[in-house]
Structure formats: structure tokens, C-alpha cells
Amino acid sequence: MDAINLSHLNILIAEDQVINQFILRKIFSKWNLSPVFVSNGEEAVKACQSSQFDLVFLDIQMPIMGGYEAARIIRSKNETLPIIAISATAFLEASEEVKKSGMNAFIGKPYTPQELLTCIHQNTSAA
């Protein structure tokens, strides 16, 4: 994963846990990527209304507004924006709700940098 440059991408991450934000910052910094971080779904919806993103990662369980509700609102205003669920919830438990809310994919916690990179490549024009 050396010499990966994703600096051209504008990525939003909604994650309420500071330690998870820290881990994601470390991973993404290795790819010259500085994502925008918000702490809940309501902030994610507002960010998507005021800025254009290439990809959104939404934690499913957050205070104020969770990822499913945020995804529904974001999706109602933007049909093409890739939205990825991130959760410690088992995929089988979450998969139906992920689809219903309009999310494109699911990444389970804990995730690896390679899983994140693969997801970014599959859902953007990062190549």
C-alpha cells in the first residue's frame, strides 16, 4: 500500500468515537487523504447539504441521529453518492437495513486498511 495518493477525493466520515476517528485519520493520512469528520448523522446530513463528497462513511450507531436515518435523508437528496455503513454490528443483522436506507455497502468493525482501500476503489473513481 505504498505510494497511494487519494488526495483528490473528498470523503466524509460520520463517527462518534474519538478513538475510531484517530485510527481512520492515521490510515487515511498514509494515502494523502484528509477526510472531513463529523460526530453524528445530523452533522453528516448538514455536511452533505453544504459540500460535495465523493464518498460517505456512516457509523450506524451514533447519538442524535444514527447512520440509517442519515443515509435515508442523504440518499433522498443525492441518488448517486456512495454511502458506506461502518458498524460493529454483524453484517447479517444489518444487511437488510443497510439496503433499505440506501447505503451501497457495509464494512464491519474492526476493519483493515485494505478493506477500506478496496471499498474506496470500488465506490469511487480513485484509480
| pLDDT, position 90 | 60
| pLDDT, position 35 | 96
pTM of the model: 0.91
Closest to 13 measured CA to CA, from 29, 5, 1: 29
Chain segment 1-34, per-residue pLDDT in tens: 456 889 999 999 999 999 999 999 999 999 999 9
Catalogue the E-assigned strands of 1-127. Answer: 11-14, 36-38, 55-59, 83-87, 105-108
CB neighbourhood size of 81 (10 A): 19
Chain segment 111-125, per-residue pLDDT in tens: 999 999 999 999 998
Rounded CA separation 112/9 (Å): 20
Chain segment 35-93, per-residue pLDDT in tens: 999 999 999 999 999 999 999 999 999 999 999 999 999 999 999 999 999 987 665 56
Task: Please report the domains of the chain, with CATH numbers, ordered by start residue.
Answer: 18-123 (3.40.50.2300)
**Contact between 11 and 53 (Cβ < 8 Å):** yes
| pLDDT, position 99 | 84
Q: How would you class 102 by CB atoms within 10 Å of its CB: exposed for 0-12, middle for 13-18, buried for 19 or more?
A: middle
| pLDDT, position 28 | 95
Tell me, rounded to whole angstroms, the distance of Cα 63 from its chain centroid. 16
| pLDDT, position 100 | 86
Residue 124 has what DSSP assignment? S
**Contact between 67 and 102 (Cβ < 8 Å):** no
